[in-house]
Amino acid sequence: MADAPYLIALALLEQNGERALPLQGKSLREPLTADGDPGEVGRQQALELLVRVWQRSDQGALNRAAGDHSLLLVAVPIEALQEELPALKAQWLNSGDTAVLVQGLSALASGVWSLNQEPRQPLTYARLG
């Protein structure tokens, strides 16, 4: 199973004075290439997550909680979904320490990327960790 990772989009945000970390994921049929990025499947997962985040704005104003690292994509082994990922999420929700979150994700993931967009430019991936 570790050869077919799970791709997860995470949004690090603050709403009504509290941190939130919604996520969206999809099982991949094949691992990503070592020097590649999540490509179109990553963009699709980010879009689905951002629609949910946008709908969430009905409950109050949203702020990015980690600047340019507020929208992440992570390729993890499916086994990490049961314990490691929930533990990292809970730790970030309690501490807000994005560097520790990225370090923890990098330790268990085959890839961690932030997804950004400059005005009038296409989306870009920046590999982290």
Q: What is the pLDDT of residues 4-28, one digit of tens each?
A: 689 999 999 999 999 999 999 999 8
* C-alpha atoms less than 13 angstroms from C-alpha of 129 in its C-beta half-sphere: 22
Residue 95 lies in a domain: yes
> What distance in Å separates the CA atoms of residue 45 and residue 1, rounded to the nearest whole number?
20
pLDDT > 90? residue 1 = no
Residue 51: Cβ-neighbour burial (10 angstroms; 0-12, 13-18, 19+) = exposed
| Residue 74 domain boundaries | 6-127
Give 60's pLDDT tier (boundaries 50, 70, 90): very high
The closest of 6, 57, 79 to 22, measured between CA atoms, is 57
Can you tell me which residue has the tokens 């979150």? 101
| Structural domains of the chain, count | 1
Q: What pLDDT digit, counting tens, does each position of 91-127 carry?
A: 999 999 999 999 999 999 888 999 988 889 888 999 9
pTM over 0.75: yes
Crossing angle of helices 98-108 and 84-95, in 10° steps, is 170
pLDDT > 70? residue 29 = yes
CA angle 37, 43, 48 (to 5 degrees): 140
Residue 122 lies in a domain: yes
Residue 1 lies in a domain: no
For residues 114 and 71, the answer to whether their CB atoms sit within 8 Å is: yes
Residue 115 lies in a domain: yes
Residue 59 lies in a domain: yes
Residue 118 lies in a domain: yes
Residue 20 lies in a domain: yes
Q: Span 58-83, mean pLDDT?
A: 93
Instruction: Centre a 10 Å sphere on the Cβ of residue 2 and count the other Cβ atoms it contains.
Output: 11
